[in-house]
């Protein structure tokens, strides 16, 4: 079976799929894309412009939730329980609510240092492509802001609230068993931990950031590390983030 993941390296939705592929020990190839220039290639593959996109023997599946459903069907062990209504509700909460709101806060800080922004999202690209990306980024940053709903201070403040809401949610819900649904790891845990990893930065995430980080970003990340929800993210990663299965 030939499996290829078209991805952004720094994206919790792509991290979700990488994690599921690694957990289920599906050998695959990862194709790194640059946000913005990626659209033509992804549209040609899938008819839309969002990542992640997975191809399985030439067949295309787009979107992290759809991909996890397909992986659970093709590789049922270990199960992510994608058809469990409670699991699905938590996945949707983080995918559709907390995730986009948190992203606004993260991107608003990163856009304050375009050099670091281009290093982060251009990691793994050829030097010439990274250099060109850095040149056009000042012109494109307005599109990044509009495309992600960063439309003023209120949207950024809402992103800060979403960080606290998401961390509090996992800390309280996992208090009894350590997991969000029942007493086993499911797609609910995988999704929540992936989304929150953008602010917790667990050491074994595949979204590790280039060092040194801008002081403003490092300071903000440091401010959330003592939250019990951040401890939960680190624990879930330590217990369940499997070694990579890249071909």
pLDDT in tens, the chain (247 residues): 899 999 999 999 999 999 999 999 999 999 999 888 888 999 999 999 999 999 999 999 999 999 999 999 999 999 999 999 999 999 999 999 999 999 999 999 999 999 999 999 988 889 999 899 999 999 888 888 998 999 999 999 999 999 999 999 999 999 999 999 999 999 999 999 999 999 999 988 998 888 999 999 999 999 999 999 999 999 999 999 988 888 7
Angle at 10 between CA 56 and CA 128, to 5 degrees: 90
Question: What is the CATH T-level fold of the domain 85-240, as seen in this structure?
Answer: Glutathione S-transferase Yfyf (Class Pi); Chain A, domain 2 (1.20.1050)
List every span in the chain annotated with CATH 1.20.1050: 85-240
List every span in the chain annotated with CATH 3.40.30.10: 3-74
pLDDT of residue 220: 96
Which one, of 240, 179, 159, 168, lies nearest residue 205 by Cα? 240
Pick the CATH number of 3-74 from 3.40.30.10, 1.10.760.10, 1.20.20.10, 3.30.200.20: 3.40.30.10
Burial class of 70 by CB neighbour count within 10 A (0 to 12, 13 to 18, 19+) = middle
N- to C-terminal Cα separation, the chain:
12
């Amino acid at each position: 079976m030939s499996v290829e993941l078209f991805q952004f390296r720094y994206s919790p939705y792509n991290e979700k799929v990488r994690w599921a592929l690694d957990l289920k020990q599906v050998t695959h190839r990862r194709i790194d894309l640059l946000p913005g220039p990626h659209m033509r290639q992804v549209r040609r593959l899938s008819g839309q412009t969002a990542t992640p996109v997975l191809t399985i023997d030439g067949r295309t599946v787009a979107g992290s939730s759809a991909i996890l459903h397909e992986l659970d069907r093709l590789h049922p062990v270990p199960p992510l329980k994608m058809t469990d209504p409670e699991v699905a509700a938590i996945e949707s909460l983080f995918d559709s609510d907390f995730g986009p709101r948190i992203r606004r806060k993260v991107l608003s800080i990163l856009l304050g240092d375009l050099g670091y922004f281009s290093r982060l999202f251009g990691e793994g690209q050829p030097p010439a492509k990274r250099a060109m990306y850095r040149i056009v980024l000042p012109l494109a940053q307005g599109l990044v802001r509009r495309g992600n709903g960063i439309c003023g201070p209120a949207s950024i403040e809402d992103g800060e609230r979403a960080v606290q809401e998401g961390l509090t949610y996992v800390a309280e819900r996992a208090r009894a068993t350590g997991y969000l649904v029942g007493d086993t790891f499911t797609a609910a845990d995988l999704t929540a931990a992936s989304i929150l990893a953008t602010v917790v930065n667990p050491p074994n995430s595949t979204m590790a950031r280039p060092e040194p980080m801008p002081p403003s970003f490092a300071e903000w990340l440091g401010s959330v590390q003592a939250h019990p929800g951040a401890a939960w993210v680190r624990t879930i990663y330590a217990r369940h983030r499997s070694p990579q299965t890249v071909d």
